[in-house]
Amino acid sequence: MKDQGQSIPIKRVEIYCRVSTLEQAEKENSLDSQVERCRRLISLHEADGWLHAEIFKDAGFSGGSMDRPSLKEMLADAERGAFDVIALYKLDRLTRNIRDFHKLWEKLERLNVSIVAASQEINTATPSSRLMFNRLVSFAEFERSLIAERTSVNMDHKFNSGDCGQSMASLWAVAPLMGTVGTKIKNLDH
């Protein structure tokens, strides 16, 4: 039992959310639902000293690349010691690449920053959770590879069958715009 005079250390928690397409961000409210789920997790841990710091959102960025503006900004905050925990909806929102995850994880461990995933109820603070994180990253990378393979096969089929008219032209017109939206939102609640 804790001594009545003992204070609970504050853990500053930053939320990171990502969606792969701008359509997901605009029409599906996927970023907002990720933020809400993370806020609920933080609320559940308020008695443990968790304090919501900031929200970082990357819309239209693949989990296969670490080249994302809000992710970079959040990592710069980590370097400055601005927070203690990254809250994610799911681990694959951070990355879908095993090598990137391990590089990032090593960096965050050196900075004493842990990672929690709201929908998976695990964090990097315990050995069993670290094992689960490794497995989940492996599955995320596998899923990304399957998606890329299916997309490639489908595009090849459309091209070879001559069915690449307006939809393919639209895709190539929009492609340069993908991955250009990143936002950081200050938390005004605290």
Share above pLDDT 70 across residues of the chain, in percent, rounded to a whole number: 62
Over residues 50-107, the pLDDT tens digits come to 999 899 999 999 888 999 999 999 999 999 999 999 999 988 899 888 888 889 988 9
Residue 63's alpha-carbon distances to 1, 4, 117, 152, in angstroms, are 42, 45, 15, 18
pLDDT for 189:
43
pLDDT for 6:
74
CB atoms within 10 A of CB 143: 13
Residue 109 has pLDDT above 70, yes or no: yes
pLDDT confidence band for 126 (50 / 70 / 90): low
Over residues 144-161, the pLDDT tens digits come to 666 667 666 666 666 677
Which H/E stretch holds residue 30? helix 30-44
Domain architecture of the chain: domains with CATH: 11-186 (3.40.50.1390)
Q: pTM above 0.85?
A: no
Ranges 41-45, 129-133, 159-163: which has the least confidence? 129-133
CB atoms within 10 A of CB 103: 13
pLDDT for 180:
41
Residue 93, sorted as left (phi over 0), alpha (psi -120 to 50) or beta, turns out to be alpha
> Average pLDDT, stretch 5-15?
89
